[in-house]
Amino acid sequence: MFGALADPTRRAVLERLGEGEASIGELARPFDMALPSLMKHVRVLEAVGLVESRKSGRVRTCRLKPAAMTDAERWLVEQRAVWEARLDRLEAYVKAIEKKSRKRGLK
């Protein structure tokens, strides 16, 4: 999922789909690329479950699947907790060293 989100074009597609459904042509309009190139980006987003599309006649319409972000969000929350705990321990360690250093300077 994070690989899919790393690309600025795919992030822009997701932002646009946040406003509502759109056809591949509508999604491609702001980009300087051919429809097959944009379709590759959409396939990547579909593969990770962020987007789904349906074809009606010659038009393929895409929509966002926001529930798919839940797994990524959960992982980020867990990682944030881990790193906050590490930083808290580092801060406590630095304060302890500074305290020892000040005590030694007074003697």
Is the CB of residue 47 less than 8 Å from the CB of residue 4? yes
Is the CB of residue 46 less than 8 Å from the CB of residue 15? no
| pLDDT (0 to 100) of residue 107 | 55
| pLDDT (0 to 100) of residue 22 | 95
Ranges of the chain with pLDDT below 50 = none
- Strand-strand pairing, 22-23 and 51-56: unpaired
Q: Does CATH place domain 2-64 in 1.20.140.10?
A: no
Does the pTM surpass 0.75? The reply is no
Which residues, including other chains, have CB under 8 Å from residue 73's CB and lie 6 or more apart?
Answer: none
